[in-house]
Amino acid sequence: MPRLRDLSASWRLGLTFCVLTLLGGYLVSGIVLVNSYENRDQRPGLTMTDIVGAYHGVRSPAPLITSLEAGHPNDLDPELPLPEDLRDALLAWLDDAENLSLSYDDLDLGDEAPAEIIATYCLDCHVRGAEGEYAAPDVSLEYWSDVEPLAVSRDIQPKDLKVVSASVHAHAPSMGIILVVLGLLAAMTRAHRAIVGGLFAISAISLFADFAGQYLTRLDPIWAWAIVAGGGIA
**68 and 90 Cβ atoms separated by less than 8 Å:** yes
Residue 61, pLDDT score: 83
Residue 72 near residue 80, CB atoms below 8 Å: no
Rounded to two decimals, what is the model's pTM? 0.68
Q: What pLDDT score does 43 carry?
A: 67
For 126, residues 6+ apart whose C-beta sits below 8 A from its C-beta are 118, 136, 137, 139, 140, 141, 142
pLDDT in tens, the chain (234 residues): 778 888 889 998 999 999 999 989 888 988 888 888 887 766 677 888 889 888 999 887 888 998 898 888 887 766 667 888 899 999 999 988 888 888 898 888 888 899 999 988 888 888 888 887 888 888 899 899 999 888 888 788 899 999 999 999 999 999 999 999 999 999 988 889 899 999 999 999 999 999 999 999 999 999 999 999 998 887
Model pLDDT, residue 80? 64
pLDDT digits (tens, 9 = 90+) for 112-153: 899 999 988 888 888 888 887 888 888 899 899 999 888 888
Per-residue pLDDT at 166: 93
pLDDT tens, position by position, 11-21: 989 999 999 99
Q: Which of 132, 161, 128, 159 is nearest to 146 (CA)?
A: 128
For residue 60, the surrounding DSSP H or E stretch is: strand 58-60
Burial track 121-153 (b if 16+ CB lie within 10 A, e otherwise):
bbebbbbeebeeeeeeeeebbbeeebbeebbbb
pLDDT of residue 74: 81
CA nearest to 56, candidates 142, 131, 176, 154: 154
Nearest to 113 by CA among 98, 103, 122, 121: 103
